[in-house]
Structure 1
Amino acid sequence: MEGLTISVADILWIAAALTTLAAAWKVLKNNPIAKHDKRIEKNEKRLNDHDERFARDLARLQDAEAADKIMCKCLLTLIDHEITGNGTERMKQIRTELQQYLIDK
């Protein structure tokens, strides 16, 4: 029965193997990669939501800029008319632009 003797080295080797297997099982059970993937997916959803909001806000700002531009044209034409007493053709042109803007909006 010489082949069945177990030395201290064999016991230590078996303990180390069991410890390694237990550590590997713990890592696989917690699966930090899957948790990381979930965080990435969550952040991608948030980023897409922010991109959509940014696009809407940009469109609103561009629309507000266009409205400001047409209003400034109207005011300038009114001031010119008040000062010179004429310029009715320019006023008609700006009125048409304003009507077109309001219709398109």
Structure 2
Amino acid sequence: MVFTINSDQVLWLCTSLAAVWTAWGIFKQIKKPSDDHRAMLLKHDDNLKEHDELFAKDNRRLISLEDGYRKMLEWQTEQHRINIENERRFKEDEESRKVIMKSLYVIINHTITGNGIDQLKHVRDDLNNFLIEK
């Protein structure tokens, strides 16, 4: 059996290939805006996901900064309370020291001179009042 190809068949084949190729090109051109739009949407979705991740990261960082700031304010408030308490104690200690020094002075003076019993009584009353008020 002999297989022969004539020119009509070659032209028909070339025309069919050209028609299919042209139809494929037209199909691609018609589909191109849709593909471009889909690619753009995917790109925007990726950007949106990235922005959401960055936003969540920034939000976590701000929350941790707020917690740190709140802890720092609590610490400062506690330190202020401690400082006020220490000042009060220092004043009490200073008053106690003054009364003790005054008492010692009067005792030494009395020991040296043998006089000043009225002064000793007065200092004793001051010391008694101080201890009662404390």
What's the TM-score once normalised by structure 1's chain length? 0.81
Query: Which residue of structure 1 lines up, in the alignment, with residue 81 of structure 2?
Result: 52
Deviation per residue, 1:44-98 (Å, 9 max, x gap)? 1111111111211221121111111100000000011111111111111111110
Report how far residue 5 of structure 1 moved. 5.5
State the alpha-carbon separation in 2 of the partners of residues 101 and 83 from structure 1: 26
Select which of 51, 70, 79 maps to 1:24: 51
Query: Who wins on radius of gyration, i.e. which is larger?
Result: 2
1:18 Cα offset (Å):
3.7
Flag the 1:59–1:79 CA change in 2: closer, same or farther, 3 A: same
Matched to 2:54, the amino acid is V
Q: Which runs of 5 or more residues in structure 2 are unaligned?
A: 1-29
**Percentage of pairs with the same residue:** 21
Partner residue of 2:114 out of 41, 63, 85: 85
Is 1:42 aligned to 2:40, yes or no? Answer: no
Task: Quote the residue 2:19 is aligned against.
Answer: none
Distance in 1, matches of 2:46 and 2:88, equals 60
Aligned length: 103
Alpha-carbon distance between aligned partners in 2 of 1:103 and 1:95, rounded to the nearest angstrom = 12
Q: 1:53 to 1:68 in 2, by over 3 A?
A: same
Pair 1:2–1:18, CA change in 2 (3 A): closer
TM-score (norm 2): 0.65
